[in-house]
Chain A
Amino acid sequence: MPVLVIAEHDNNTLKVSTHPVISAASQLDADIHVLIAGSNAAAAAEEAGKVSGVVKVLHADDAIYAQGLAENLGALIVQIAKDYTHILAPASFFGKNIMPRVAALLDVQQISDITAIESSDTFVRPIYAGNAFATIQSTDSPKVLTVRPTSFDAAAAEGGSASIDQIDSAAETGLASFVGQELTKSERPELAIADIVISGGRGFGSAENFNKLMEPLADRLGAAIGASRAAVDAGYVPNDYQVGQTGKIVAPKLYIAIGISGAIQHLAGMKDSKVIVAINKDEEAPIFSIADYGLVGDLFEIIPELEKALAS
């Protein structure tokens, strides 16, 4: 039996969280089908069909799927679930919202946020903010999994030539309706896949300082900007900048933490980065214990200096 990947997309293109899930699915040694449920999302369906390893795309085109409401999307996935041994989605806010609903309707226990696949029923996942890793064996069928995107290489965008099947919608549940959204606009690379991430914390003191110092540095490095919870709570940056246990998980080639103390909840979101740099005025800050390079000093002096040095 094949496995099913629930694609995350914006009705136009696939989100980058989808490709690592397809690559995780390929470890299960079965045909991979991808569900594109959306409204006028033919372009996304076509894109999914080209991803390496995908043999079939199921395309449900209906206005009720335009915003990925869990109630409607959940009903659709349940309708097609019986044909699959595994159903996988990214452990992004999108997948976290929908998949437990699907699992409960199928009377199975979801396995969240897997970081490795040991066999078709055995998976590894972080618990306690990544302070421990549990290896667990599921007895359920089908297996409903959310996959941590940073733990798997992205499947290649080209190489597949899947068929695209149109499938029927499930009945509209009428439980929820979309009112609006406020998306953060940025010209910078996406936080989840950027090669370089610079993150700021409470040490900046104000939104004005944060933007004034971080933006030129990010531009100089071609980096995405992240933040600690304290920086988000204080309103320096929008919520979707938060890196950590309950925010986004990132694993860039270079992560620079500036004015961030290094609480375990923050480390949970970035400690798989390849190289970590910490800049903090407190030499005792816990962040230094996991940093490859630490620089003690005042960020208000160091950032402009860093930016100037990088320019030359």
Chain B
Amino acid sequence: MKILVPVKRVIDAYVTVRVKADESGVETSNVKMSMNPFCEIAIEEAVRLKEAGNAEEIIAVSAGSMQCQETLRTALAMGADRAILIQTEESDLQPLAIAKLLKAITDKENPGLVLMGKQAIDGDHNQTGQMLAALLNWAQGTFASKLDLESDSITVTREIDGGLETLKLKMPAVITTDLRLNEPRYASLPNIMKAKKKPLDVTTPEELGVDITPRYKTIKVSEPPKRQAGTMVESVQDLIEKLHNEAKVI
């Protein structure tokens, strides 16, 4: 079985994001970029499935600018076998367009599983996996915290509002990862070196025959309302007094 793992390049999770003064977007120049953390979890899970003998090949795929090659190299260093860049200069790639691009790749590669992040931490859309499953008419196992692979089905434990839910999905299926599925490994130096020699193909939306025209227009990106830092209290008594008489919340 092949596993396809879509990965996204995003502003690193620990960078403080700043809105541009002209409200056209957020500052991205000279900002540290990384693989979206949920995509790292997806790669890790794919590698574990391969190590356990449940998969033969892991293909990482990313849509975006040339710089996404770095992200794909990271995926290769973590254990993916080859990579595909869907190169585009469209700066506003929206989830439906990405899902269509991923469908085109899926149709070509015929993976048994697509493992991807539940959410990209830049746009916080939480859509692409569900959309891809819909376009393929496949089952979806979103927000997965545990997977059990059988011969023609996969049992998924999912994080839901009230706790956990277990579903059995027909294969092939799309799985999106939650934080507790695994802890991703760090790529070792020898593996980073080896990754440089692994195949990385480049294609384009045109070659795949996919229309990626944005479906919404961003009018502005603004700063959130600032919260003022309040006061420090000296004691528990002081705190209770303030909550009672000043804030009037207890």
Binding site for B on A (CB under 8 A): 15, 17, 67, 69-71, 74, 92-94, 96-105, 107-113, 122, 126-140, 173-184, 196, 221, 229, 232-233, 238-240, 245-246, 248, 253-254, 264-265, 271, 274-277, 288-296, 302, 305-306, 309-310
Name the prevailing secondary structure of the A interface residues. Answer: mixed
Complex CA gap A22/B31 in Å reads 40
Which chain B residues (228-248) contact chain A, with CB distance < 8 Å? 229-233, 235-237, 239-240, 242-243, 247
Q: List 17 A-B contacts (CB under 8 A).
A: A70-B142, A71-B139, A100-B134, A104-B99, A107-B96, A108-B96, A132-B223, A135-B219, A137-B217, A177-B168, A239-B178, A271-B224, A276-B230, A291-B229, A293-B232, A309-B237, A310-B240
The prevalent SS among residues of B at the interface is mixed
**Interchain CB contact under 8 A, B216 and A109:** yes
Contacts of A302 in B (CB 8 A): 236
Q: Are A290 and B140 in contact (CB under 8 A)?
A: no
Interface size class of chain B, counting residues whose CB lies under 8 Å from the partner chain: 35 or more
Q: Are B26 and A108 in contact (CB under 8 A)?
A: no
Residues from chain B with a CB closer than 8 A to the CB of A127 are 26, 122-124, 221
Q: Residues of B contacting A105 with CB < 8 Å?
A: 134
Task: Report how far A108 CA is from B236 CA in the complex, Å.
Answer: 53
A174's nearest neighbour on chain B, judged by CB, is B170
Cross-chain contact B233 with A239 (CB below 8 angstroms): no
Q: By the criterion CB–CB under 8 Å, are B124 and A112 in contact?
A: yes
| Docked-complex contact A128 and B131, CB < 8 angstroms | no
Q: Which of B11, B163, B215, B216 contacts A238 (CB 8 A)?
A: B163
Q: How far is the CB of A159 from chain B (nearest CB, A)?
A: 26
Give the residue of A70, A104, A296 whose beta carbon is less than 8 angstroms from that of B232. Answer: A296
Which one of B95, B118, B130 contacts A246 once the chains associate, using CB atoms below 8 Å?
B118
Q: A254 near B223 (CB under 8 angstroms)?
A: no
9 closest A-B pairs by CB:
A109-B215, A292-B230, A100-B130, A104-B131, A175-B139, A100-B127, A104-B134, A179-B166, A254-B249
List the A side residues contacting B167 at CB < 8 Å: 69, 176-179
Cross-interface CB contact of B218 among A70, A136, A310, cutoff 8 Å: A136
Contacts of B202 on A, CB cut-off 8 Å?
A: none
In the bound complex, CA of A289 to CA of B219 (Å): 30
B131 close to A103 (CB less than 8 A) = yes
| Whole-angstrom distance between the Cβ of B129 and the nearest chain A Cβ | 8
Contact B124 A126 (CB under 8 A): yes
**B133, A132: Cβ atoms closer than 8 Å:** no
B139 touches A176 (CB 8 A): yes
A275 touches B249 (CB 8 A): yes
**A87–B7 alpha-carbon span in the complex (Å):** 29
Mask of B18-42 contacts with A, CB within 8 angstroms, 1/0: 1100000010000000000000000
CB of A104 within 8 A of CB of B217, answer no
Q: How far is the CB of B182 from chain A (nearest CB, A)?
A: 11
Contact with A along B93-128 (1 / 0, CB 8 A): 011100100000000000000000011011111111
Q: Which residues of chain B from 162 to 183 have any CB-CB distance to chain A below 8 Å in the complex?
A: 162-170, 173, 178-180
- Cβ of B249 and Cβ of A110 under 8 Å apart? no
Instruction: For residue A188, give the distance in angstroms from its CB to the closest CB of chain B.
Output: 13
